[in-house]
Amino acid sequence: MTEPIQEQSPEPEKPLTDGEPFASMPIDFAVDAAVDAAAAASLAHEQSFDTTDLRPCPDCETLLEPWQLSCHNCGRLCAENAEAPVSVGEDEAYNTVELSQSYQDWLDRGHAALESENYGEAQNCFLEALARTKALPNQVMREIEVRKGLAKALEKLDKRGEATEQYMLLSQLNKDVVAEQSDEFAKRARQLSLSTMDILSSVDRHASFRPPVGSELKLAPLYCGQCKRILLESEVYHVRKGISLRVRCFCGAEGVPLVRSDAKHLRALKTASAVRERKSLLIQAASDQLPEGRRKQTAVILAAVLGGVGAHKFYLGEKVPGMIYLATCWSLIPIVMGWFDAINYSQMSRVTFNLMYNIELVLMRLPAEKEEDLKSDRSDVFSMEITASEPEDFVDQFSKESQT
């Protein structure tokens, strides 16, 4: 007879001890022991957590610690927590005192530099003091004091945009402190923002203005039809380009720009025409073949065959790149770069090549300027003509006509 198989009783669970790691236990016992340990730690933490000192936020009812001055959920300031005492360690108190002293030192140095008219140094000192206000008590009042000096320094440095920004920040900071002073800062910010346009707005309103005629839209300075302010080139770019004839000014007016009829305007048009004619003569002179100058075909051949030793660079008068090519001729890099230069030279138009490597001979071919052109004042030239074709396309047109 076969003996009945006796069921083996499971081994008793092995309790987890501090001295026995999980790795030396069976997997089932290790998992159960880890779960029990985590549950015990969580229970101990809940028992040790005291909620008697927590206070709910009036808006979102989020529980806040006594030291929290604002809710971390909705951001509201809590007056009850603001009155609660906050324990400060010795190290924190020492750091606060040291930081406060550093803030005061930078502030005093900024005021001293401002009084001695060293406005750049004053700006740097006020910026250093401003960086230390965020970690100090009574931050708003300290920040207001620093920004006042910083705004004055920026205003003296003629940085009106940055000074306007500081006055706007002062206006916002003073809304809850002193309403009258806040209005003064806002008024000063508006004055500075308007003063940036004083130079452009200083136009004689009694001068004679008229609509532009012919090429005046591309050559002459343009003015607003309502406030008579000279328009920026960014405002009249589409007019110069010929896309539209209407412009919008800062004053809100929109319409056809005007030109000013005076001697300066007429002189600018005359000089601009002379400059355009001179430019056309320069391109025509560069489009001709120059037998006594450097030739493009020779440069291409030298770059393709002897580019590894920089022969094409020496031929074109570029001695420093040629020495670099010659010093590194033992490697393959100059050879590859020579092939690249050969392709680049072959793609150049004759005008471009002559203007780059034969500019002296091109200038010698130009006719002498007239005496009246030499005496003209070039500072009045407002030649902003924008053509439909790119300069390189215009150059290639001359090159193809004279190509042999």
Please check whether residues 271 and 387 belong to one and the same domain: yes
**Whether the predicted pLDDT of 143 surpasses 60:** yes
Q: Which one is predicted more confidently, 241 or 375? A: 241
* pTM for this entry: 0.33
- Select from 39, 38, 78 the least CA-distant residue to 55: 78
**Whether the predicted pLDDT of 82 surpasses 50:** no
Of 196, 214, 241, the one marking the end of a domain is: 196
CA distance 93 to 369: 79
Find all residues with CB under 8 Å of 160, minimum gap 6, and list them: 154, 192, 193, 195, 196
Instruction: Flag whether 123 is in a domain.
Output: yes
Q: What is the CATH number of the domain that holds 148?
A: 1.25.40.10
Find all residues with CB under 8 Å of 274, minimum gap 6, and list them: 373, 376
Q: Which one is predicted more confidently, 387 or 69? A: 69
Please check whether residues 279 and 388 belong to one and the same domain: yes
Please check whether residues 145 and 207 belong to one and the same domain: no
Instruction: Flag whether 107 is in a domain.
Output: yes
Please check whether residues 249 and 276 belong to one and the same domain: no
Please check whether residues 235 and 362 belong to one and the same domain: no
**Whether the predicted pLDDT of 339 surpasses 90:** yes
The domain tally of the chain equals: 3
**Whether the predicted pLDDT of 223 surpasses 70:** yes
Please check whether residues 211 and 180 belong to one and the same domain: no
Please check whether residues 167 and 287 belong to one and the same domain: no
Q: What is the pLDDT of residue 266?
A: 65
Q: What is the mean pLDDT of residues 165-193?
A: 70
CA distance 37 to 26: 16
Q: Are strands 254-255 and 209-210 parallel, antiparallel or unpaired?
A: unpaired
Instruction: Flag whether 22 is in a domain.
Output: no
Of 215, 238, 261, the one marking the end of a domain is: 261
Please check whether residues 285 and 334 belong to one and the same domain: yes
Question: What is the pLDDT of the chain when averaged over all its residues?
Answer: 73
Please check whether residues 282 and 308 belong to one and the same domain: yes
Q: What is the mean pLDDT of residues 292-296?
A: 88
Cα distances from 11 to residues 8, 15, 35, in angstroms, run 9, 12, 20
pLDDT band at 212 (very low <50, low <70, confident <90, very high): confident
Helix (H, G, I), strand (E, B) or coil at 379: helix
Please check whether residues 300 and 351 belong to one and the same domain: yes
Instruction: Flag whether 247 is in a domain.
Output: yes
| Domain residue limits at 227 | 201-261
Q: What is the mean pLDDT of residues 167-181?
A: 68
CB neighbours (10 Å) of residue 359?
Answer: 13
Across 222-231, 301-310, 383-392, which has the greatest mean pLDDT?
301-310
Please check whether residues 178 and 248 belong to one and the same domain: no
E-state strands within 125-215: 209-210
Instruction: Flag whether 21 is in a domain.
Output: no
Q: What is the pLDDT of residue 48?
A: 53
Q: What is the pLDDT of residue 83?
A: 45
Please check whether residues 207 and 224 belong to one and the same domain: yes
Q: Which one is predicted more confidently, 397 or 175? A: 175
**Whether the predicted pLDDT of 94 surpasses 60:** no
Of 142, 161, 196, the one marking the end of a domain is: 196
Q: Which one is predicted more confidently, 74 or 201? A: 74
CA–centroid distance for 89 within its chain: 43
**Whether the predicted pLDDT of 111 surpasses 70:** yes
pLDDT band at 119 (very low <50, low <70, confident <90, very high): confident
CA–centroid distance for 399 within its chain: 41
Instruction: Flag whether 37 is in a domain.
Output: no
Beta carbons of 93 and 67 less than 8 angstroms apart: no
Instruction: Flag whether 162 is in a domain.
Output: yes
CA distance 72 to 67: 12
E-state strands within 25-165: 55-56, 63-64
Beta carbons of 106 and 145 less than 8 angstroms apart: no
Q: Which one is predicted more confidently, 167 or 314? A: 314
Q: What is the pLDDT of residue 382?
A: 42
Q: What is the mean pLDDT of residues 326-349?
A: 90
pLDDT per position as a tens digit, 14-33: 454 544 555 565 666 666 77
- Select from 44, 10, 42, 13 the least CA-distant residue to 30: 13
pLDDT per position as a tens digit, 372-386: 554 544 444 444 444
Instruction: Flag whether 61 is in a domain.
Output: no
Residue 300: which region, alpha, beta or left (left: phi > 0; alpha: psi -120 to 50)?
A: alpha
